[in-house]
Amino acid sequence: VLEQEALRESIFRHLKTQTELQKIQQKIIQQERLAAIGQMASGIAHDFSNALMPVLGFSEILMNRPEAMKDTEKVQKYIEMINTSARDAMHLVGGLREFYRQKENTENLLPMDLNKAIKQAVLLTQPRWQGEFRSKGVNVKVSMKLDPVPEIIGNEASIREALINLIFNALDALPNGGSVQFGTRVEASQVVVEVSDTGMGMDEQTRQRCFEPFFSTKGKGGTGLGLSMVYGVIRRHGGTIESSSQQGKGTPVLIRFPVAAPSTSSNGSSGQVL
């Protein structure tokens, strides 16, 4: 009888300990979920701010420069950029739950002109690298050397959003000015996009982790979601992305996309500087 009572008490103690452990685990899981939600919210605010920046930039140009309203061609161009940015913001909101999902049949993937997307990304970020930076006395040049390349299969809004994030990331590395250059070319059955800047560069440890979600070298001002979002977009499109950055020597980023069709090519251009 004594042995049975001792065994019963041992079982009760074990069950009580197990229940307490489960409660502790649930609290830890809840805390981790709350922390993840907070980090994700910060990242959403970051990307949404990027999408809205051209809306503010181009609308402020129209409001602060009444003489610009007389140039109907320029006004039309600015309105088109504002509209594109607003649509990209809508796409961002609609795709929040798809941060790292795999490509699905329902995703709107169509043949697209990658050179055109690059030109749009450069123009959409112009209010920052040309307006904001120059107002601070900092000179930044963004140039493009785009070869004629075949079309790729992709979602234009997602690709444009990734390119804009790459530009903003490059600008963050140019507090004292410098240059950002885009280049495109064809290698075998791939379209290659190279984005390089003359900024601070990264050490080897940072380079290896730069595409990780929530990894940032910008302290409280960084979310660590910009480059990881770029990585997710590129991978969903069947592409690859890598960086060979070195500290003090700038950051080149190399992106490779599979070609949509060998017979289809998009508009290219010789060297162009904005």
Q: With 0-12 CB in 10 A as exposed, 13-18 as middle and 19+ as buried, what is 154?
A: buried
Q: How far is CA 230 from CA 18, 35, 39, 139, 273, in A?
A: 43, 22, 17, 26, 24
Report yes or no: 141 and 180 within 8 Å, Cβ to Cβ.
Answer: yes
Query: Using one digit for the tens of pLDDT, what is the confidence trace for 122-178?
Result: 988 888 888 788 878 889 999 999 999 999 999 888 898 889 889 988 888 888 889
Say if pTM beats, i.e. exceeds, 0.85.
no
Taking the mean position of all CA atoms in its chain, how far away is CA 25? 34
* Burial profile 85-99: b = 16 or more Cβ within 10 angstroms, e = fewer: beebbebbeebeeee
Residue 59 pLDDT > 80? yes
Kindly report the CA angle at 51 between 157 and 185, in degrees rounded to 5? 45
Once rounded to an integer, what is the mean pLDDT over residues 23-29?
A: 66
| 3-class state of residue 158 by DSSP | helix
